[in-house]
Chains A and B, each alone.
Chain A
């Protein structure tokens, strides 16, 4: 980086030094009248350090953390948002981070919508089981909040906390279901994921969730992708559902989002005992993807085909012509995968070419 300085390249962080930043933070944040501009610059440096440099030691992190808590007096929105980021990073190493609980709870329930989602996410990063019970009421309210960002923040945070707080979060199923049936796309995605993970160990409940949603009205493509994954799980757990859910996967092949189409096609290809007839529509999708202008789509298709070619060499062979064209692909991974797939499906005729 020092070379850059000589070149005159502008980089305010070129000579950033860990202890200097910690020192600067302690001075700037402890001033009686906070200078937002200066604090913003120090926070920028600190975040740059946290996101790109060596991690801070416990003492340094704790000291910096306590300095940062002083900034809660400052009303500047950008500063507050950066404080949340720093709290989340420092909370991984600093001691006694629960000291900011009340400040964050206050922000989480504030009128200012700009604070709330980020405050929820920061708060949940420093929360343990006992504290979670204390904020349970607010979490339930946040999940069904009319602001989509608040709802998503609460749902995603719950997912992170689920591991050691199953019993508490289980009690929020009504609120989560309400979010799932709401209008917001992202909240649908997060709510479906959270419900699935809450019910994960109860096969019957998962089946119910999956079958109801396959007939339901999910609008989020991301949520659809996960529903497809859950459906594959249910099909393998319960053979009685196989045909019904296969029909659902088949329907997803005609979804308007290519994300969903691909997820469904690769799901069908992954099924253990799928018949030659049932796999054909999925392979047709892959065939189409092989000629797509986007290399990511070609890569995705050829990778799936290379996996499924072991089991269904004859069925995959219909894509041989497209695969042969990919041998010259500018992306070397695609070319390599095309060759290895052809080795599984190809016959003498194609080897000659």
Chain B
């Protein structure tokens, strides 16, 4: 990159919208929860899928946590059978992207009792979606403290006690309900 563009970029990216996308893919590279925030970037689902595919191919085995791909910076981390990505403009502060990724991941880990894996994420999809909504609003980092995100999301009503806090009989009841639900579908 030339000097000139490097200088211009720092000023142009004075915008607060530093995050282009937050993606969660499973270990087949399939979408779990993907949100794109920059309408000018990867506007169509087709483009998004192609990008995710190439991102996944390049990252799922590599033991690192940052990559430049198709002109954007992607920071990522994996957990059991999931891959989490935060994507920013090429000249966004890499540490800031990584900071956002860690905030999101830590919030999820706290809410899902350290079971950040596909099954649990799917079962608690509402919680995960709300956490992401508390983290980023239209590409702008809304909250940086995982504890605050957890506090904002964890507004379960009394009739919905989180699995980890249920007694065995309650857990059995929930399991039964979930089973019958999946049969009734």
Contacts and interface: CB of A to CB of B under 8 A. Distances in A.
Instruction: Tell me if A's interface is mostly helix, strand, loop or mixed.
Output: helix
A121 B96 contact: no
A300 B99 CA distance: 13
A313 interface: no
B33 interface: yes
A186 B143 contact: yes
Nearest to A269: B6
A52 B32 contact: yes
Instruction: Tell me if B's interface is mostly helix, strand, loop or mixed.
Output: mixed
Contacts of A230: 14
A219 interface: no
Interface residues of B, number: 60
A226 B34 contact: no
A263 interface: yes
B80 interface: no
Interface string A108-139: 00000010011001000000000000000000
Measured as residues with beta carbon below 8 angstroms from the partner, the interface class of chain A is 35 or more
B129 A51 contact: yes
A93 interface: no
A333 B64 CA distance: 10
A315 B138 CA distance: 40
Contact of A296 (B63, B75, B125): B75
B94 A82 contact: no
Given A47-B125, A259-B96, A311-B3, A333 B130 contact: no
B99 A259 contact: yes
B47 interface: no
A218 to B, nearest CB: 14
Interface of A: 1, 9-13, 15, 36-37, 40-41, 43-44, 47-48, 51-55, 76-78, 81-82, 85, 114, 117-118, 121, 149, 152-153, 156-157, 159-160, 185-186, 189-190, 193, 196-197, 222, 225-226, 229-230, 232-233, 236, 258-259, 262-263, 266-267, 270-272, 294-297, 299-300, 303, 307-308, 310-311, 330-334
Given A47-B125, A51-B31, 14 more contacts: A13-B122, A13-B125, A36-B157, A54-B45, A77-B157, A78-B155, A82-B126, A121-B137, A229-B10, A232-B11, A272-B3, A300-B95, A331-B65, A333-B67
